[in-house]
Amino acid sequence: MSGIDGRGVVRGATAGRRYIAEAGRLVARLATDEWPSLDAAADLVADALAGGGDIHAFGTGHSHMLAEELFYRAGGLVRVKPILFEGLMLHAGAELSTALERLPGIAAAILDQHPMRAGDVLVVASNSGGNAVVGELAGLARARGVPVIAILSRAHASSAASRAAGRPNLQDIADVVIDNGGVIGDAAVAVDGFANRVGPTSTVVGAAALNAIVAEAVARLVARGITPEVFLSSNVDGGDEVNARLLHPEGGR
């Protein structure tokens, strides 16, 4: 039976259409419910770049894709330093990465190899916010004077399903929290006759949030009279040359 439910999704639509509608709704709410958080995050990023700082980005499992979303991207910021520890990325072993993200102590070892300092900003993506490595990394960064922007699901982070296990959740540590609006467990779409939900939304919403922050930060820098360092696509005329100058300002390659 057709009709519109309370979320504005067409009842009776196919599973794929319902996923697209829900993802679109969650992206749209970034401009309303989450705008104060995005606004604050953009200020942090603009201030860091204006002061010569770097933007660090981290996530485990699928959330590491949000760190890569910011890095070396056409229309993206040059001064982004993703934290890409292979053991926490799925291609190195999915079950191993899940086990490692829950182990205390890994964040300190990561920071030994990936220095950051006051004046930088750290972005941490984690749908639940409860695994040990994300909370510890955020806490260590803040102890160094580095503000933390978290992208997570408040519903999941505030639930018993979060794996905080007596530790502070990422949402309790970060300076700015952006709620991706996702459901507990991330998968948003129910399929008739099938027990499990499908269609996770955290990646598409997180990517939209990050790119909105970048756009806002760039606009704020321009308004201050600062020319931001932003990559061009390597697949347009002159892109390689522009990017080489940005990456190698002394002229070396």
Is the pLDDT at 2 greater than 80? The verdict is no
Which tens digits make up the pLDDT trace of 13-45? 899 999 999 999 999 999 999 999 999 999 999
Is the pLDDT at 165 greater than 70? The verdict is no
Which tens digits make up the pLDDT trace of 123-157? 999 999 999 999 999 999 999 999 999 999 999 99
Looking at residue 250, what is its pLDDT?
Answer: 76
Is the pLDDT at 207 greater than 60? The verdict is yes
Tokens of 22: 């829900």
Identify the burial level of 224 via C-beta atoms within 10 angstroms of its C-beta, where 0-12 means exposed, 13-18 middle and 19 or more buried: exposed
Q: What angle do CA 119, 174, 95 make, to 5 degrees?
A: 110
- pTM beyond 0.85: yes
Helix spans in the chain (H): 15-29, 35-50, 64-70, 94-100, 106-113, 132-143, 154-157, 170-173, 202-223, 239-247
Strand-strand pairing, 176-179 and 187-189: unpaired
Domains delineated in the chain: 36-247 (3.40.50.10490)
